[in-house]
Chain A
Amino acid sequence: MDPEVSAVRLTVWEAVHILSSSEDGGRIFCTLGSLKRYLGATENPALPEEQEEFVRIHFSTFLRCLVSKLSPDWLELLPDGQMEELWASFFLEGPADQAFLVLMESIEGAASPSFCLMKMAQLLARFLSVGRMAAVMEGQCRQQAGPAFPLLQETLLTKVVGLPDRLGNRLQRENLATFLPQNYFPLLGEEVLRVLQVVVDSLRGGLDCSVSFLSQVLGKACVHGRQKEVLGVLVPRLTVLTQGSCLWQRVCWCLVERVPDWAMEAVLKGFVEAAPGPEVLSRLLGNVVTKSKKAQFVMTRKLLFLQYSCTMPMLQSLLGYLAMDSQRRSLLMQALKELLETWGSSSAIRHVPLVQQRYVSKAILICLAHLGEAELRDSRDELLASLMEGVKSRLDSSLPPVRRLGMIVAEVASARIHPEGPPLKFQYEEDELTREMLALAMPRPAADGPSEAGPSFAPVSGETPDRETVDRSGPQTGPEGSDSELDSDDEFVPYDMSVDREQRSSKAPSYVRGCLEALTGSEDWERWEAALWALEGLIFRSPAATQEVSVELAKVLLHLEEKTAVVGFEGLRQRALVALTVTDPARVAEYLTTQFYALNYSLRQRMDILDVLTLAAQELSRPGRLGKAPQRGSPDPGSQPGGAVVPAWRAVVEERVRRKTRRFSKGSAGRAPAVGPNEFNSVAGYFFFPLLQHFDRPLVTFDLLGDDQLVLGRLAHTLGALMYLAVNTTVAVPMGKALLEFVWALRFHGDAYVRQGLLSAVSAVLLSVPAERLLADLLDELLEARSWLGDVAEKDPDKDCRLLAVKALLLLEKLRDKLLPLSSP
């Protein structure tokens, strides 16, 4: 052992001794000052070997000793806070990692709340604010990532990332703003960036550096859920820095590649979220997906199939990133194949939430927009096969949104995959979703400037004056232009133009029988059309004449085909049938219900029957129907000029009466609701029971329990509606009983639409059957239904089903509440 080494040790021992025993401020000050030499900051620094030894062996010990001495009295040994300044300088100027560890250690060891703790916390805040955290991390980068200090690195990592938690725990309400995660993590981001700058500089200088500690810090922060704070600072800056600098790009790629596997997902998701577009993402991430298995899994599977939380810009960035490099494009193709497979799997269609299905569909469209024609052609057969299978199973679904997704994706995808083939074309309504999806399918412009440039405000501010001048000139020309238009003297008031309707042929039949003839035998299409238009009015005007031919007319209408392109043919036919059913309910309903299970009908006709029955029942059960009925016939235009006068006259009288009458209560000024017996009462059976009879007996052309589940769903809905409309009728109890049996038989049906119908039917039973009768006659069925409803409410994959089940359960609850007060006393 040479004398210099022992000299350092001796000096430190002595200093420690003085510190622990002496109360003399001057002496302590001198001792500390002499130690300061070893940090190399004074005018006559110690020898480098001495410095090195001090730092390596004695610094931590000495710092701990300093911490242990910290007390108010001790600090006041010298005036003007000199002592504190000197004390703090050891922490701020010495090696950062040791200082940081000692600080953290002593903060955690200090009694809370105490003077010491607060002093240490303030010191730590100062430590952070002068940028020592960068020094901590920089130290780790310089250490060549050797296996020398894995444990120390691990500890440092935990402390660096866990700082806000630890400080929050220790300080509780006294916590300083710097340590709040929303402030600390952006700061950490800044520090990481500074270290990266140092790394880049030293790489330029030919020195080797490692960023793996930074990657770990980044990973850990992201795993802690702080992607937004850290990457929100890092990504925009990196976007600018990596532009045009290969070195920066390489450092950045390295940073991402070194992220440990357990943090890869969090980091990548953060990057995808923070990056403004695929170009930037590609620049920041490089080919990490081809280098790291984990990254590949996250980018091509996890974010696409297992999660569906990404927003559309994120998804576009992600898929665009995959598309931007030739090495990654094969992954994109692979992703598209797998997406299409998932999209088309009939099991997935049934069991995956709609939101995720939408997500997958959009991802497919974006993939298609990015892939080139040649690439698509190479794997056309495979793609087409899974697409067609998917389209088939989607169109089979009875849920309209699922079908519509099928149509949109099929249209776009078939046009892209097989552009020469005959285009698929579906009819669907255009709405927000379709427009959004079709917009996704448009190929993006190759490079869009603004997202490339990152946060550049110059062009925006440059444009603003232009826009203002445009805005200003716009309104100026506006009034001038309209001034000449605005001549008040010829403000001509238009007359009523309601008579201006489409001209129709005047050959409409005047009697129901005439309509029947025109609709069956006539070759005169104008007359046929006119008869169809006139029919509903005629039926209401002459019920007696209608009843004579009701069944015959129903037969004609049911089989009526659209022979000419009549506007609103379906509606006209349906309204006529409804009018007919309302006029002669027993016979027509009987006819329609038997036809529902008859042999040679199309599904469309069968569903029409159900619709007509529902609408007619609704009309029949409408209170006050009789009073309104005469008005329903379509008024003949112009034939009754006085017709318009009468209401005016009545209004005048009523107004006069109202003005001259003093009312003492303002409540219930509105008209009382029309009352009357439920006309549906006497005929509900004709509507309801025949529909229940044959549902389990398949015909050659019609198999309700097999392929024709759409009609079964409609049937369930119709039965529910009929049940609901039979409220206050005597037949409601047997109807409810029969309906619950029907529901029970089908309760595990695989189709969501059928289950929805069944659930609403249960609700209808609960609403329509009187509570006492439910309890007396249907108790067993209700108990069974209840457990089923509970199951559905928890486990059903369909959101609407769950909702309906919860509603039914609530109704059951309400029922119990109603009965309990009756039974308890």
Chain B
Amino acid sequence: MAAPPLPPPDPQFVLRGAQSAVHTLHFCEGAQGQGRPLLLSGSLRGLVHIWSLQTRRVVATLDGHGGQCVTWLQTLPQGPQLLSQGRDLKLCVWDLAEGRNAVVDSVLLESVGFCRGSVLAGGLQRWLLAVPGRGSDEVQILEMPSKTSVCSLKPEAQARLGMPMCLQLWQADSSPRPLLLAGYEDGSVALWDVSSRKVCSRVSCHTEPVMGLDFDSQEARGVSGSAEKALAVWSLDEQQALQVRGTHVLTNPGIADVKIRPDRKILATAGWDHRVRVFHWRTMKPLAVLAFHSATVHCVAFADDGLLATGSGDQRISVWSLYPCT
């Protein structure tokens, strides 16, 4: 019974060549016919690299942020369109169809923070975009591609939440009303009803700024990581009230990013302590500690087939295949 634990796994492969710290990663479906998805990475020097997981080489490099760090990448389900957010206060929309790589549109941002945007695209032509707004504590909701400002979500003045640090737009299956989960600088997570511009509920789950969160809408349960030494798991009940379910103490402080795998079995965290931690999502049982990187891990991303990519300040992207999807 007392079998020794398996030695920690090694990465399946490592992508080198970003030539600067990797700050964001995103998997997207490749063009038809290509079996494996593409991996997009955004770097500190402002470049977006598109990696083929087949050849493990850079397919294309996009330079649209004037040398400023790329903090967020996201593709849209309709058509090969890419959103990239940079610290040059610009959000670019790229057209990647048929080998093109041109900026077709861009949105000027008004926040200098590190907050990543979020997208809600219901498969329609129009989609919602949430980005940090003009006021330091505001979140702005835009309707794309028309770039009309739908509203701006500003917490009550006495709430003192600080800046928004991470956003996630989502929609419950039962209702068409878009909802926004936002992690704030004071360590709390708030649920906004976008249409009524009200905070439905708010829960203080950290004592430090929330650095990343992810939400499992089927189980109405989410997880957030912050600059402190703990992960918080919280849930949403029928009255749309957030409740902290538990906290999981880590060895070292600082979580840069949290992602739940699309099949909702496991979740991965990017740690400031150079390590990626993998947990069982439902039980929060620690499963693995990946000590491969030699600098802060900035981002983690899961592909639909379960592949895990992690990007770090050591300029490397490691790709892992853990607990394969069934």
Contact = CB atoms under 8 A, between A and B. Distances in A.
Given A503-B273, A503-B274, A495 B280 contact: no
A131 to B, nearest CB: 68
Nearest to A494: B287
Interface residues of B, number: 25
Contact of B291 (A485, A494, A502, A638): A638
12 contacts: A490-B323, A492-B266, A492-B323, A494-B286, A495-B5, A497-B286, A497-B288, A497-B289, A500-B251, A503-B273, A503-B274, A644-B7
Contacts, number: 58
Given A489-B326, A503-B273, A638-B291, A497 B8 contact: yes
A389 B222 CA distance: 60
Contacts of B277: 500
A496 B8 CA distance: 5
Given A496-B5, A496-B8, A503 B280 contact: no
B65 interface: no
Contact of A494 (B251, B275, B285): B285
A499 B8 contact: yes
A496 B291 contact: no
A539 to B, nearest CB: 27
Nearest to A493: B6
Given A500-B289, A503-B274, A485 B283 contact: yes
A492 B286 CA distance: 10
Interface of B: 4-9, 251-252, 265-266, 273-275, 277, 280, 282-283, 285-289, 291, 323, 326
A494 B285 CA distance: 8
Contacts of A496: 4-8
A692 B280 CA distance: 62
B251 A490 contact: no
Interface string A472-504: 000000000000010101101111110111110
A492 B322 CA distance: 10
A490 B266 CA distance: 10
Contacts of B323: 490, 492
A301 to B, nearest CB: 55
Contacts of A495: 5-9, 287-289
Interface in A625-655: 637-638, 644
Contacts of A485: 282-283
Contacts of A494: 5, 285-288
A502 B252 contact: yes
Contacts of A637: 291
User: In the complex, which range does the number of interface residues on chain A fall in?
Assistant: 10 to 19
A472 B4 CA distance: 39
A502 B275 CA distance: 11
Contacts of A501: 251
A487 B265 CA distance: 11
Contacts of A644: 7
Given A497-B5, A497-B8, A503-B274, A492 B252 contact: no
Given A485-B282, A495-B7, A503 B287 contact: no
A644 B287 CA distance: 20
Contacts of A500: 251, 275, 277, 289, 291
Nearest to B254: A503
B298 to A, nearest CB: 16
Interface in A525-560: none
A46 B233 CA distance: 99
Interface in A711-734: none
Nearest to B263: A490
A502 B291 CA distance: 12
Interface in A234-279: none
Question: Closest 9 CB pairs between A and B?
Answer: A496-B5, A495-B288, A500-B289, A503-B273, A503-B252, A494-B287, A499-B291, A497-B289, A495-B6
Contacts of B5: 493-497
Contacts of A487: 282
B325 to A, nearest CB: 11
Interface in A147-168: none
A97 B251 CA distance: 85
Contacts of B265: 490, 492
A485 B285 CA distance: 12
A567 to B, nearest CB: 13
A499 B9 CA distance: 12
Contacts of B6: 493, 495-496
B92 to A, nearest CB: 36
Contacts of B7: 495-496, 644
Contacts of A492: 265-266, 280, 285, 287, 323
A481 to B, nearest CB: 13
A490 B280 contact: yes
A497 B9 CA distance: 10
A499 B275 CA distance: 10
B260 to A, nearest CB: 14
A503 B295 CA distance: 12
A504 to B, nearest CB: 10
Contacts of B9: 495
A500 B289 CA distance: 7
A502 B229 CA distance: 11
Contacts of B282: 485, 487, 490
B197 to A, nearest CB: 36
Contacts of A502: 251-252
Contacts of B280: 490, 492
B289 A499 contact: yes
A500 B279 CA distance: 14
User: A485, A490, A499, A637: which has the most chain B beta carbons within 10 Å?
Assistant: A490
User: B265, B289, B323: which has the most chain A beta carbons within 10 Å?
Assistant: B289
B44 to A, nearest CB: 21
Contacts of A490: 265, 280, 282, 323
Contacts of A503: 251-252, 273-274
Interface string A589-602: 00000000000000
Contacts of A489: 326
A495 B5 CA distance: 6
Interface string A354-388: 00000000000000000000000000000000000
Nearest to A497: B289
Contacts of B291: 499-500, 637-638
B253 to A, nearest CB: 9
A216 B291 CA distance: 84
A499 B286 CA distance: 13
A308 B284 CA distance: 54
A490 B251 CA distance: 25
Given A494-B287, A495-B289, A499-B291, 20 more contacts: A485-B282, A490-B265, A490-B323, A492-B265, A492-B285, A492-B323, A493-B5, A494-B286, A495-B5, A495-B8, A495-B287, A496-B6, A496-B7, A496-B8, A497-B5, A497-B286, A500-B277, A502-B252, A503-B251, A637-B291
